[in-house]
Structure 1
Amino acid sequence: MSRPVRVLLLCDRLDIAGGVERFVCMLANHLAGEGLDVAVGSVATPRSAVRYPLAPAVRVLAGTAALPQDESRSRVGRAWQLLRTQWHIGRALSRLIRDDQPDVVLLNGLTTACSVLLFSGRFAPRMVCCDHNHFAARSRLWQRLRERLYPRVAAVVSLTQADAPRFRAINPRTEVIYNCSALQAGAPALPAQPIVLAVGRHVAQKGFDLLLRAWVDVVRRVPDACLRVVGDGPLRAGHEALAVQLGVAGSVEWLAPTLAIEGLYREAAVFVLPSRYEGMPLALLEAQALGVPAVAFDCPTGPAEILSDDTGRLVAAGDVPALAAALVELLASPPLRASMGRAAIERSRAVFSPDEHARRWTALLREVGVKQAYGPAVAA
């Protein structure tokens, strides 16, 4: 081979603190270290605004026009705005593909992938799709588009075993590659203070409204408990107002996203994931890798494959009283938290190895890229 394989990793934007954005930057850095020619691309994020660190060797591609702003409050208006936004995304990211001419493209997110494929279907044989959420997270429109478009791509990655059969029915070349945590610890910190940590964007998916309703019961039973919520997003002001309405504002801390998140995990007695739905949540993986016992809703995919009975508690999806009871149980028992913390680190190393995660992504993208650049015989 006369040149490195050219890889382009695409998502809508790279200037926000989210799991997909963090994944893209982490993977880009690893691939560049493996000698591939790597670029990350978004609609309008310049290098100076990328939220997570990037190696100097990683190129940053961006369009020039920001995403349209949602100004409509009607249901029809919001639907039209969504379609307009996705048309804008598809056109902008497709232009990056045409200009950069990569050997392999990783499309992150169902709506992003479908929008790009509608504009750049001729590049489908060099594309890999990863939805980053559970199979049925989006509306039927997007699921139907996936059924039509994903059979054309080189490969699909499912983040969970639970969803793999449904992806495989659309595209037989489906691989399961678990997410992993870039944060690691040799032993749990075991803090004594009853601090509960939640991390995520302030959007409906993350269920912070449900957590606040559960927190009413938690502070009634553990009066010195503190809830720290780390994240930004459109619903933050509403969540702060809800905490006031419920009478728990004095026990809740609202923190902005930070690159120094490891310290917050290490200060937490318990991690909580109250999401309505997930793919393979990075925040829960990080908590486990750092030895923080966790409580999570058993939403359609993700938490059930991460947690075990000896590393945390799964409660029925949306069951607010059960979420509160599980938090109280862990806060009330330092010995239980210590046992769970040690088991969490062991499970993280055994099942969610960063080395295995990086090896499998590198192998898949290199295989597709080599096949496009040099032909099937060289890839084999």
Structure 2
Amino acid sequence: MKLLYITTTINGAGGLQRVLVDKANTFASMGYEVAVLCTNPSSEPSLYPLLPQVGLAIIRPKKGLNYFFSYKKLLLKHIKAFRPDILIMCDNGIKSFLLPYFTPRRYKLVYEMHGSKNIWLAFIRPYFLRAMLYRFMDVSVSRYDRLVVLSPSARKEWNCSNADIIPNYLWFNETGKSSLMAKKAIAVGRHVPEKGYDRLLLAWKSVTEKYPEWVLEIYGEENPDYDLREMANRLGISNHVVFHEPRPDIHKAYITASVCLVASYSEGFGMVLLEAMACGVPCVAFDCPVGPADIIVDRQNGLLVPEGNLELYIKAVLEIIENENLRHYLGSKASEIKDRYSKAASVARWNKLFTSLAGR
């Protein structure tokens, strides 16, 4: 069976890139013929290598008014050349919703949604435009053979009958757990507005006013258009924040921390939560759309704060710092998450989906 994954890029350190490359390699090892088509080339280094037997192609659509026409032409050219049994769309940009309108019906189409539907609506103010876009997205994913979302919360966002829930999985084997004794918090993710670093740094300022010996370590590719160093400078907390480049063995960083902080405005799943918790590190997160509430059970394996309530978020971080018994209890319960998100179970569900779509 031939699978073609369509995505923006596999470069960089994002959770989507890591999971997509791991799945492509896994299915290729299982006997599938797999290729990945990237539609937005990136200059970032590739941290997650594809196996030699996985094909890789890159298209560069023309910019400007002809972008979508160029995108369609180049995409169809590569689809025709590879002749996949199933196309899996992992590019969650607006153009991704157009695929069913111009792809021959002989190809089975899967839309793999890695973000909240509401991330697009947040940028549109007029209600009637939001309603129109919402409707367009629902109608478009209904034209796919299957919509795959990553959590029950994400499923509730879509008004369609063709959705399946297949969560991401823990990509590493357990390599040890944190002692939870270091005076260190960790945050991991791209330096982009949706990850909520603005409010995370604001919260950390309040934390360090009471506990100046604590340090926040942030792992992610730096972005001059969203300059976290400058934010930290303005808040006067540069001595309490350490910035690191992305690393493929990020689990080794988790086990040196005592709490993981997630302040995203929107998540597709919350891979950082899964990774940290598997290392026995309790997490504090906002209950943003979508994902955190499907992973964190408040006060049982982490602390989940109502979306937007910065005061309660600060209190939650302080409670983790001050209450060593709670920190160790949550960390112990958090590590059990690995049993819920095993790679074997996720791959089996994908394999079953592919087999059913191909009629085999």
Q: Does TM, scored on the shorter chain, surpass 0.5?
A: yes
Q: Does residue 340 of the first structure (1) align with residue 333 of the second (2)?
A: no
Q: Compute the displacement of 1:262 (Å).
A: 1.4
User: 215-224 or 319-328, which moves further after superposition?
Assistant: 319-328
The one-letter code matched in structure 2 to 1:135 is: K
Check 1:66–1:341 CA distance in 2 against 1; reply closer, same or farther (3 A cut).
Answer: farther
Q: Compute the displacement of 1:86 (Å).
A: 5.9
The one-letter code matched in structure 2 to 1:106 is: I
8 Å contact from structure 2 (residues 180, 281) kept in 1 = no
Which residue in 2 is equivalent to 1:127?
Answer: 109
Q: Compute the displacement of 1:84 (Å).
A: 6.6
Distance 2:79 2:222 in 1: 29
Which residue in 1 is equivalent to 2:170?
Answer: 181
Equivalent residue in structure 1 for 2:261, among 272, 284, 298: 272
The one-letter code matched in structure 2 to 1:335 is: N
Distance 1:67 1:353 in 2: 41
8 Å contact from structure 1 (residues 62, 96) kept in 2 = no
8 Å contact from structure 1 (residues 190, 337) kept in 2 = no
8 Å contact from structure 2 (residues 285, 303) kept in 1 = yes
Which residue in 1 is equivalent to 2:126?
Answer: none
Which residue in 2 is equivalent to 1:18?
Answer: 14
8 Å contact from structure 1 (residues 125, 152) kept in 2 = no
More helix by share: 1
Equivalent residue in structure 2 for 1:107, among 62, 84, 89: 89
8 Å contact from structure 1 (residues 12, 43) kept in 2 = yes
* Identity level (%): 27
Give a deviation string over 1:270-312, Cα, whole Å, max 9, x none: 0011000112111111111121110001102210110112211
Equivalent residue in structure 2 for 1:317, among 307, 312, 323: 307
Secondary structure of 2:119's match? coil
Check 1:243–1:173 CA distance in 2 against 1; reply closer, same or farther (3 A cut).
Answer: same
Secondary structure of 2:216's match? strand
Q: How does 1:25-174 map to 2 (within 5 A)?
A: 25-43=21-39, 45=41, 50-63=46-59, 65=60, 68=63, 89-111=71-93, 112-118=95-101, 120-123=102-105, 126-139=108-121, 140=130, 142-167=133-158, 169-170=159-160, 172-174=161-163
Q: Compute the displacement of 1:163 (Å).
A: 2.9
The one-letter code matched in structure 1 to 2:336 is: E
Q: Compute the displacement of 1:85 (Å).
A: 5.7
Q: Compute the displacement of 1:138 (Å).
A: 1.4
The one-letter code matched in structure 2 to 1:116 is: L
Check 1:233–1:8 CA distance in 2 against 1; reply closer, same or farther (3 A cut).
Answer: farther
How many residues align? The count is 349
Distance 1:143 1:45 in 2: 28
Distance 1:142 1:94 in 2: 25
Q: Which runs of 5+ in 1 are unaligned?
A: 69-80, 372-378
Distance 1:229 1:187 in 2: 21
8 Å contact from structure 1 (residues 194, 224) kept in 2 = yes
Check 1:317–1:181 CA distance in 2 against 1; reply closer, same or farther (3 A cut).
Answer: same
Distance 2:106 2:208 in 1: 52
Secondary structure of 1:110's match? coil
Q: Compute the displacement of 1:165 (Å).
A: 4.1
The one-letter code matched in structure 1 to 2:309 is: D
Which residue in 2 is equivalent to 1:241?
Answer: 230
Q: Compute the displacement of 1:44 (Å).
A: 5.6
8 Å contact from structure 1 (residues 196, 269) kept in 2 = yes
Distance 1:219 1:67 in 2: 48
The one-letter code matched in structure 1 to 2:303 is: R
Which residue in 1 is equivalent to 2:4?
Answer: 8
Check 1:86–1:66 CA distance in 2 against 1; reply closer, same or farther (3 A cut).
Answer: closer
Equivalent residue in structure 2 for 1:329, among 319, 328, 336: 319
Distance 2:72 2:16 in 1: 17
Q: How does 1:184-223 map to 2 (within 5 A)?
A: 184-185=173-174, 188-223=177-212
Q: Compute the displacement of 1:360 (Å).
A: 0.8
Secondary structure of 1:267's match? coil
The one-letter code matched in structure 2 to 1:156 is: L
Check 1:198–1:45 CA distance in 2 against 1; reply closer, same or farther (3 A cut).
Answer: same
Q: Compute the displacement of 1:49 (Å).
A: 5.4
8 Å contact from structure 2 (residues 222, 245) kept in 1 = no
Secondary structure of 2:284's match? strand
